[in-house]
Amino acid sequence: MCLFCDMLEGKIPMDVVRETGQSVAFRDINPQAPTHVLVIPRRHVENLGALAEYPEELADVVALGASVAEEEGLEAGFRMVANTGELAGQTVFHAHLHVLGGRRMAWPPG
């Protein structure tokens, strides 16, 4: 089973920020910025690219991420990041979007 699926099933606790019928946003346990929230679809798919097969759910993940950024007061700027594949740094193979903010972001990112 996947870590995020276990979290969605209540087997592992998560600090939920906001949720919809299709997605859940929760605080990252290893934050890389003052605000670091993960947004995941309730449906298990390997990565955000694979979620494109479900456009309404993909749109919901992105919209929830933007909504969380607004609620967290990140009007000055925020970053949404999706790591796809091991070489890109994806460690949990369930689609997710990182919402990062609260500090100046460097470029290139990594």
How many residues are listed for the chain in this entry? 110
Of the residues 36, 94, 96, 98, which is catalytic?
Answer: 96
Token pair 């906001």 in the structure block, residue: 18
Please name which of 93, 26, 14 lies closest in space to residue 64, comparing C-alpha atoms: 26
96 is catalytic: yes
The residues, ordered by sequence, that sit 6+ positions from 70 with a Cβ below 8 Å of its Cβ are none
**Structure-block tokens of residue 27:** 């605080």
Structure tokens at 8: 């969605």
Q: What are 94's two structure tokens?
A: 């369930």
Residues noted as catalytic: 96
